[in-house]
A and B are shown apart, each in its own frame.
Chain A
Amino acid sequence: QKEVEQNSGPLSVPEGAIASLNCTYSDRGSQSFFWYRQYSGKSPELIMSIYSNGDKEDGRFTAQLNKASQYVSLLIRDSQPSDSATYLCAAMDSSYKLIFGSGTRLLVRP
């Protein structure tokens, strides 16, 4: 069974702090990984994609991938109250479908 595991949270951080979100996956065949943000009642919105080991930065967001440890993370720098949402980690499997984790709820306190 292909699984993506995330801590459900909530992860509470003060405004301006770094939020660190983590995810592990079970399918070693997965090569592409994605972080989506989901506001309550809304659809997933892509934040970052990462395909190679190491770090990938985009503005305030940095995704990290370690395929040996089957671990993906997302760092959000200078967190804002508007970043408060559920963050979904997803792995694309060998048949090109996304396997989602259950999401981590992030709360950024003003």
Chain B
Amino acid sequence: EPEVTQTPSHQVTQMGQEVILRCVPISNHLYFYWYRQILGQKVEFLVSFYNNEISEKSEIFDDQFSVERPDGSNFTLKIRSTKLEDSAMYFCASTEDPQIGNTIYFGEGSWLTVV
């Protein structure tokens, strides 16, 4: 069964460093998302991406965050200057077409620890 893959599975970084989290969505999917989950808290929406541009971003997704689809397969989340409060599990997700009720599939997540 096709799946969303994410790398790295776990990254420890120093505060102030840049981090890039990578995702390979399911191949025929057109809508991509990043969510995050701080330990013990709910899954929160960060950003959605369609047709090579951001569709919507949350208040969390400030100027420190950016997303990119550099080629036909990868979808990346960059955090420019990490803060302690960025420590969380980051999930990439994708779907073929949510307008017709297609399921949103989640990757296994990337644990980010900022020290």
Contact = CB atoms under 8 A, between A and B. Distances in A.
Q: How large is the interface on A (under 10, 10 to 19, 20 to 34, 35 or more residues)?
A: 20 to 34
Interface residues of B, number: 23
Interface string B73-115: 0000000000000000101000000110101111111000000
14 contacts: A41-B89, A42-B108, A44-B106, A46-B104, A88-B43, A92-B98, A96-B48, A96-B55, A96-B99, A97-B45, A100-B42, A101-B42, A102-B41, A103-B42
Interface of B: 31, 33, 35, 41-45, 48, 55-56, 89, 91, 98-99, 101, 103-109
Given A97-B48, A100-B42, 20 more contacts: A32-B98, A36-B106, A43-B91, A43-B108, A43-B109, A44-B91, A44-B106, A46-B103, A92-B98, A95-B48, A95-B55, A95-B56, A96-B31, A96-B48, A97-B56, A98-B33, A99-B45, A100-B44, A102-B41, A103-B42
